[in-house]
Structure 1
Amino acid sequence: MSELVSQKIEAILYLKGQAITIAEIAEILACDQSTAEEGLIDLIAEYAHRNSALEIAETDTGFSLRLREEFADLVQKLVPSDLGRGALRTLAAIALKNPITQSELVELRGSGAYPQIQELVEQGFVRKRRQSDGRSYWLQVTEKFHQYFEIDDLSKLV
């Protein structure tokens, strides 16, 4: 197997930031699935032999590059996300409805949701964009949300 294929797969997993299937990898590389699978197997073996802080993990939705579980405490120290219970509940409501209008969210969570929304936007878990009619904002979770909580498919939460 070409080392270049494994390196390209590593780059894809790193850049994608979420699980990706072998078929998607093959499509990006413009190769057949067996070549992509061989490259992925080589990459998994390479990570296992070098005893890295990173690993290639298989999930229901594909393969992803992630930090090994034993380094999870570093994430807590380095990724600032001191979300209170209310902010977490607001984030959960946004994730479950994704996307949801700010006005709908305030109806669900009350006016206390406004500062929580601002906190979630500032921490990068939620993206806020004005609706086309200009009356309210659309709220939706970001890539940081997916990476931080390791949730690839929000439909599985319901």
Structure 2
Amino acid sequence: MNKKALLEAALFVSDKPLSVQSLTRITKIPETEIGKMLDEIADDTENEDRGVELIETPVGFEMRIKPEYRDNVAELAPFSDLSEGMMRTLAIVAVRQPVKQSVIVRYQGNKAYGYIASLEEKGLVKTEKSGRTKIIMTTPDFEKYFGKSSVEVKKTLEEKL
């Protein structure tokens, strides 16, 4: 079995970023080999005319649709690149914005930090420092991502809370 292909498949099918430790556990590939393979996959997706890219988030690695292709394929799998936890976090932000990070953590637990970082990486939310916490709100890309007005998106997300 091709180890690099297995690693790429694991990243592709996952609905959340995967840490090197998780990838080792899932694929049984030694940690020492995974780093090199991740670099190769990143180079492959960056240098070739590919529709996906490998990105590193604060909580791990993930494959995602390149921004220039996202609008063209969004209707095929809406929200598929957002985990359930990320969707819940995004719903809280959309409904209650601007909202303190501490409020989201109260609802979502400590995983909220990773969800917020991933959503910020995707350009769906922005954060502003406010004392010891952050204030989180949606971005213009949020509305573009969902292909609906913010009022429609907010109504849909309120139902998921």
Return the TM-score normalized by structure 1.
0.49
State the structure with more CA Rg.
Answer: 1
